[in-house]
Amino acid sequence: MRFFIDDLPVIFPYDYVYPEQYQYMCGLKRSLDSKGHAMLEMPSGTGKTVSLLSLIIAYQQFYPGRRKLVYCSRTVPEIDKALAELKRLMEYRQSHGCIDENFIGLGLTSRKNLCVHPRVSMERKGAVVDARCREMTASWVRNKAQSVGNIELCGYFEKLQDIESSELLPHGVYTLEDLTDYGKANGMCPYYLSRRVIPMADVIIYSFHYMLDPKVAELVSKEFEKDSIVVFDEAHNIDSICIDSLSIDINERTLRSSTASVERLGERVEEMKAQNSEKLRDEYDRLVEGLRDALAARDEDLVLSNPILPDHVLHEAVPGNIRKAEHFVRFLKRFIEYLKARMRVMHVVAETTPSFLKHIREVTYIERKPLRFCAERLASLVRTLEITDLEEYGALARVASFATLCATYDTGFMVLFEPYESDQSTIPNPVLHLACLDAAIAIKPVFQRFHTVIITSGTLSPMEMYPRMLEFAPVVQESFTMTLARQCFAPLVVTRGGDQATISSKFEVRNDPAVVRNYGNLLIEVSRVVPDGIVAFFPSYLYMESIVAMWNEKGFLTEVWKHKLIFVETPDAAETSVALQNYRAACNNGRGAVLLSVARGKVSEGIDFDHNFGRAVIMFGIPYQYTESRILKARLEFMREAHQIRENDFLTFDALRHASQCIGRVLRGKTDYGLMVLADKRYSRADKRSKLPRWISTCLTDVSTSLSTDMAIDLMRKFLKAMAQPFDLNSQLGISMWTNEHIIQHGGRGDIAATSAMEVDQAS
Amino acid sequence: MPKAKKPADDDDYIDIDDAEPEGLKGADGGYAWEEEYKRSWDVIQEDASGSIQSSVLGISDQRKRKRRIRDTSIVQRGIIRHVMLVIDESESMSFKDMVPTRIHATLRLAEKFITEFFDQNPISQLSIIATKDGLAERLTELSSNPMDHINALRSKGNKDLAGEPSLQNALELGMHGLKRAPSHGLREIICVLGSLTTCDPGDIEQTLQALKQGQVRVSMVHLAAEVFVFKRICKETGGVFAVAIDEDNMKDVLFEC
């Protein structure tokens, strides 16, 4: 269908539009017009991606200045889905007479997903694929091949070199599969093809890391114009991603491996000196003159990149004491020895980066400035020595990044050394953490560089938290509810068991036999009443294991077995995928199953449980983080001082966004229905309820907060019977599905053809 | 009150103004205390809590009314029907949400159904199958004598309910029984189920394929909730799947099949 928002014609690839989709598109347009940032929350399963894409493409093509769209998503399957939607949208647009000239849309992922070389693509680990690829595509290897011959090069890569950039890829939208097929058909490497075409593409879809993580962002995202539109989809965890991209952990194995790597590096330097000191001398000269490595312009050669943000890279010459290769190697050795010495301490040490650096200076006379250049110098050395097999140097690269990060940032980081994994263990397992505390460091440059950044997800509440944490000011900040002709989900808060004892996963009471019994009874009753699949989420693996063991002892699990099969999620990915497969089979053939999983695990992040795969979801307790963790405590303190966010507020916010994410898994689309059970006394309190997304909290009636198990079961039965009645889609028209007439009714502009026809009618 | 203009020739038009909550009025128009025992607090709760329950009932009542006005379409029903009636005798039927228990209500209703069925389709044949504990057994053979079936149901002193039903076994047994039926008649299996699970010896997918090949139409009335595989079987064989909200609704839905 086709309608107007203000003066922008939007082609929407379905016959009806949901009211919330329409409002979402209006909100988007406002932020695009005002060239400001936006935060939009829309419920899961209501077609967010298609509304986003159709509005932005319409905007892009209609107004002059074709702004590029950079769409960031979380996982590769999501990227693929978004590309498929885009393809469908463009086909629809074409069939309705929209001429989009020279439109290119594609995605980018790692080499592992895109390689077509018969030998290299068979490797299973991503790092190995990268290393093998570089062995064949690095510039020194290719130069040597020209002179020496008898060196294997990648034919697909070579073919790419001969073709002009503008003729590389014909117009259209390419999913990852399309891209690999095209590459195979024409003998070109899809990965490098994609990288080459990015500057000319209209829509690029890739993962968050390519925009946020300094290590990879430099490679890919440095050439985008200021007015490009950046969209972060499923961005509720974006602060964790920012923090993880700047945090490093070092343990004993890393140090051992880096010592070995440094030895090898030293040997190679000696070798090279003996054979051909030209290269080393060239490098030294370049560093003396302060020339930023011109070789870095060759993307394919950039094997180790700088872990700090481009703004913080010093534009100065590398300091004298690490210019010569052998000096640098010795420098690294000293630093590693220092780290080893620190790891022998038997108590916990937590300090800021400046004090850490001061200590280094006192003990080893290593200054701050050379440390800042550590990563860069290592990268340059590795290039000069023509090393391609970077797996072996991975640990050393980590140590170098550690040094650079420590030395660059004064605030917002913490160095934490823990000799034991937890306070109770007796076997020493020392780990040195460099923890980033400030989520804004990684993402602020994005907000500053692009003037339209859109953050969207199904669970962004409470929305005031993000602008404070990430330090940006959104122009548009809205939360949309689901319009439904019939209420197809029922959130229920169960606070008491059948014996009227309160249930909670609070740390003090979680092992209380009454609480365990009540949770067990809740699970049994739900499995008796709900057909097909049930998903149950626990706050942590530890809690899940202990409570399941207790249930097993007392015989609760045998009761559940009578009604449904039980599957459990484990930290192992392969086991979990087998469990999921069997869970789905059980849901499909009438056996019924319960899946026990964890609120912060892989299942809750990525897997959808639509229709019969998830008829009910139970959230046992509130998924708080492990509050005794020192890193978390440091982060909370930092937020209190820097952003005036109270600890309690942040912890509740974090717990509830995970809980909302979990219960949102069960609803996909408007014909789907599901029950959401929140089983903890604390959910009935107003401060927790207010932090649930608007589309859920508006459905929480007074009756359904603070229920006991039997009352909840009663409500569930009635709900299931009501939902199973035949439902006519046409009855939704006007309420939860709109056509052009309804848009006009609600104050929009509808389709200009229709409105002008009406005017003609009225005139005559 | 003059109604707004109705779109022409739309059988499914639901007139919202027409909805009347069927609350405490007796179904036969008599006095409320002469009715069968009703749990009045249930009804009150439905009215108070909001629109869903009463509006769903209202809508289904309207449909019922429209249907009574329309001709019963003979096209679907055929003249010679061979029907296997499957009754679930699993543990879930001992549940008390119908009075006195689900199984009692079902058996009562089955008797009424048999009478009505032979009223409307005098030359058809019926057979009853019961399933419990993972097995299915035939209660009565295919016959056109309603009294046979009713007596069998009544004399079923053995009203033990146990275990889980086996839909696959029941369907297979039903198909086996229908093999002898001539192909010019309509072959059907009608199930009344209360259980949310089924304990099957093999892949029910294969049974579904066999049903489709044998052109057997499966319809189901479920007393609790919608189970994916049950609904799928009904849809793919061209039958009807419905969930009964309460006893009256169950009667309507069963008579629809």
| Cα A403 to Cα A368: distance, rounded to the nearest angstrom | 9
Provide the pLDDT confidence category of residue A347 given band limits of 50, 70 and 90.
Answer: confident
Q: Is A725 in contact with B230 (Cβ distance < 8 A)?
A: no
Mean pLDDT within A584-601: 91
Residue A249, phi then psi, degrees to nearest 5:
-120, 140
Q: Is B225 in contact with A725 (Cβ distance < 8 A)?
A: no
| Cα B208 to Cα B204: distance, rounded to the nearest angstrom | 6
User: What's the pLDDT score for residue A637?
Assistant: 92
On whether the CB atoms of residues A196 and A189 are closer than 8 A, the answer is: no
Provide the pLDDT confidence category of residue B190 given band limits of 50, 70 and 90.
Answer: very high
Whether B198 contacts chain A with CB within 8 A: yes
Please, how many CA atoms are within 13 Å of residue B53, restricted to the half-sphere of its CB? Answer: 22
Whether A64 contacts chain B with CB within 8 A: no
Select from A242, A688, A248 the least CA-distant residue to A472: A242
The shares of helix, strand and coil residues in chain A, as percent rounded to the nearest 5, are 55, 15, 30
User: What's the pLDDT score for residue A165?
Assistant: 72
User: What's the pLDDT score for residue A282?
Assistant: 80
Task: Look at phi and psi of residue A611 and say left if phi exceeds 0, alpha if psi is from -120 to 50, else beta.
Answer: left
- DSSP per position, B170-200: HHHHHHHHHHTS-TTSEEEEEEEE--S----
Q: Which two tokens stand for residue A46?
A: 């209501």
B37's CB contacts (< 8 A; 6+ apart) are B99
Whether B228 contacts chain A with CB within 8 A: yes
User: What's the pLDDT score for residue A293?
Assistant: 56
- Tens-place pLDDT, residues A637-693: 999 999 999 998 899 999 999 999 888 888 888 888 899 999 999 998 888 888 888
Q: Is A217 exposed, middle or buried (0-12, 13-18, 19+ CB in 10 A)?
A: buried
Mean pLDDT within B63-71: 60
Q: Which two tokens stand for residue A378?
A: 């290592």
User: What's the pLDDT score for residue A763?
Assistant: 47
Percent of chain A with pLDDT over 70: 96
On whether the CB atoms of residues B196 and B234 are closer than 8 A, the answer is: no
Provide the pLDDT confidence category of residue A291 given band limits of 50, 70 and 90.
Answer: low
- Tens-place pLDDT, residues A533-575: 999 999 999 999 999 999 999 999 999 998 999 999 999 888 9
User: What's the pLDDT score for residue B40?
Assistant: 42
A718: chain B residues, CB-CB within 8 Å: 46, 53
Q: Which two tokens stand for residue B146?
A: 């309603």
User: What's the pLDDT score for residue A300?
Assistant: 56
Whether A418 contacts chain B with CB within 8 A: no
Say if residue B71's pLDDT is above 80. no
User: What ipTM score was computed for the predicted complex, to two decimals?
Assistant: 0.78
Residues 458-497 of A with CB under 8 A from B: 486-487
- Tens-place pLDDT, residues A227-244: 899 999 988 889 899 998
A564: chain B residues, CB-CB within 8 Å: 197
On whether the CB atoms of residues B168 and B207 are closer than 8 A, the answer is: yes
Q: Is A590 in contact with B227 (Cβ distance < 8 A)?
A: yes
Helix (DSSP H) and strand (DSSP E) numbers for chain A: 33, 21
**Which of A704, A725, A733 to mutate: most B Cβ within 10 Å?**
A725
Q: Which two tokens stand for residue A360?
A: 């280094």
Mean pLDDT within B72-79: 51
Percent of chain B with pLDDT over 70: 70
Write the DSSP symbol of residue B72.
Answer: P
Whether A614 contacts chain B with CB within 8 A: no
Angle CA(A187)–CA(A193)–CA(A194) in degrees, nearest 5?
Answer: 140
Decide: helix, strand or coil at residue A116: coil
A52-66, A276-290, B108-122: which range is least confident on average? A276-290
Q: Which two tokens stand for residue A194?
A: 């994609």
Length of chain B: 257
User: What's the pLDDT score for residue A761?
Assistant: 47
Select from A308, A367, A382 the least CA-distant residue to A335: A367
Q: Is B52 in contact with A724 (Cβ distance < 8 A)?
A: no
B225: chain A residues, CB-CB within 8 Å: 529-531, 615, 717, 720-721, 723-724
User: What's the pLDDT score for residue B69?
Assistant: 54
Select from A160, A166, A173, A161 the least CA-distant residue to A85: A173
A488: chain B residues, CB-CB within 8 Å: none
Write the DSSP symbol of residue A359.
Answer: H
Whether A644 contacts chain B with CB within 8 A: no
Decide: helix, strand or coil at residue A436: strand
| Cα B158 to Cα B89: distance, rounded to the nearest angstrom | 11
Q: At what angle do helices A325-342 and A277-289 cross, to 10 degrees?
A: 80
User: What's the pLDDT score for residue B68?
Assistant: 62
pTM equals 0.83
Mean pLDDT within B219-224: 91
Say if residue A100's pLDDT is above 80. no
User: What's the pLDDT score for residue A582?
Assistant: 94
Residues 233-252 of B with CB under 8 A from A: 242-245
User: What's the pLDDT score for residue A297?
Assistant: 46
Other residues' Cβ atoms within 10 Å of the Cβ of residue B85: 25
Task: Look at phi and psi of residue B232 and say left if phi exceeds 0, alpha if psi is from -120 to 50, else beta.
Answer: alpha
Percent of chain B with pLDDT over 90: 16
Q: Is A612 in contact with B228 (Cβ distance < 8 A)?
A: yes
Residue A237, phi then psi, degrees to nearest 5:
-100, 20
A31-45, A124-138, A295-309, A401-415: which range is least confident on average? A295-309
Say if residue B64's pLDDT is above 80. no
User: What's the pLDDT score for residue B50?
Assistant: 57
Mean pLDDT within A333-358: 91
Q: For B70-214, where are the alpha helices, taking DSSP H only? A: 74-77, 102-120, 146-154, 167-179, 204-213
Provide the pLDDT confidence category of residue A413 given band limits of 50, 70 and 90.
Answer: very high
What's the mean per-residue pLDDT of chain A?
86
Provide the pLDDT confidence category of residue B70 given band limits of 50, 70 and 90.
Answer: very low
| Cα A16 to Cα A749: distance, rounded to the nearest angstrom | 15
- Tens-place pLDDT, residues A610-644: 888 999 999 999 999 888 888 899 999 999 999 99
On whether the CB atoms of residues A735 and A14 are closer than 8 A, the answer is: no
Strand partners for A104: A172
Mean pLDDT within A134-144: 80
- DSSP per position, A44-105: TTS-HHHHHHHHHHHHHHHSSS---EEEEESSHHHHHHHHHHHHHHHHHHHHTT---TT-EE
A199-208, A501-510, A613-622: which range is least confident on average? A501-510
Decide: helix, strand or coil at residue A250: strand
Decide: helix, strand or coil at residue B210: helix
Residues 157-196 of B with CB under 8 A from A: 167, 196
B56: chain A residues, CB-CB within 8 Å: 722, 725
Q: At what angle do helices B204-213 and B228-237 cross, to 10 degrees?
A: 20
Q: For A477-589, where are the alpha helices, taking DSSP H only? A: 513-529, 541-554, 556-563, 573-588
Strand partners for A617: A535, A676
Nearest CA-CA distance, residue A152 and chain B, Å = 52
- Tens-place pLDDT, residues A711-745: 999 999 989 988 888 877 777 777 778 888 777 77
User: What's the pLDDT score for residue A538?
Assistant: 94
Each residue of B208-220: b (16+ CB within 10 Å) or e?
beebeeeebbbbb
Mean pLDDT within A303-320: 74
| Cα A537 to Cα A556: distance, rounded to the nearest angstrom | 17
Q: Which two tokens stand for residue A296?
A: 């870095």
Between B97, B205, B225, which is nearest A531 by CB?
B225
- Tens-place pLDDT, residues B114-129: 998 888 888 888 999 9
Question: Cα torsion for A663, A665, A669, A674, to the nearest 10°?
Answer: -50
Q: Which residue of chain B has the CA closest to A591?
A: B197
User: What's the pLDDT score for residue A137?
Assistant: 83
Provide the pLDDT confidence category of residue B4 given band limits of 50, 70 and 90.
Answer: very low
User: What's the pLDDT score for residue A355?
Assistant: 93
Between A612, A703, A725, which is nearest B56 by CB?
A725
